[in-house]
């Protein structure tokens, strides 16, 4: 959908669910994230480092984190959500607050 400060934001409507993904834009970098995530109404703490971060829910998925790509270093806020309506269609929404360097 978009790229912000070296991170790609993507939603997809999978068979039976909604998938939200944050991933580094170019290979060889690390995504760092901290905040909350959840699927199907269950909230979990997110402390993550790796090439990507994903939430998949059969009914709902949420990802509310601050995140940055290691080589870019600019922290941005991602508040992302999605709802699978049961008929292979999804509603998605989000607010991205880009950081400043």
Query: E strands, the chain, where?
Result: 2-4, 7-14, 17-24, 31-39, 42-50, 52-57, 60-69, 76-84, 90-97
Whether residue 93 is predicted with pLDDT greater than 90 in this model: the reply is yes
- Which tens digits make up the pLDDT trace of 54-91? 999 999 999 999 999 988 889 999 999 999 988 778 89
Of the chain, the percentage scoring pLDDT greater than 70 comes to: 99
Q: What is the pTM of this model?
A: 0.90
Predicted pLDDT at 101:
66
Domain residues for 51?
Answer: 2-97
Would you state the pLDDT for residue 71? 83
Number of domains in the chain: 1
Across residues 9-20, what is the average pLDDT?
88
């Amino acid at each position: 959908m978009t790229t912000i400060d070296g991170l790609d934001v993507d939603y997809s409507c999978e068979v039976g669910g909604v998938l939200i993904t944050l991933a580094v834009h170019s290979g060889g970098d690390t995504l760092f994230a901290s905040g909350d995530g959840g699927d199907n109404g269950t909230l979990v703490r997110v402390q993550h480092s790796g090439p990507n971060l994903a939430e998949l829910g059969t009914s709902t998925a949420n990802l509310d984190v601050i995140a940055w790509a290691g080589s870019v270093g600019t922290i941005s806020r991602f508040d992302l959500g999605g709802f699978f309506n049961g008929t292979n269609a999804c509603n998605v929404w989000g607010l991205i607050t880009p950081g400043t360097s």
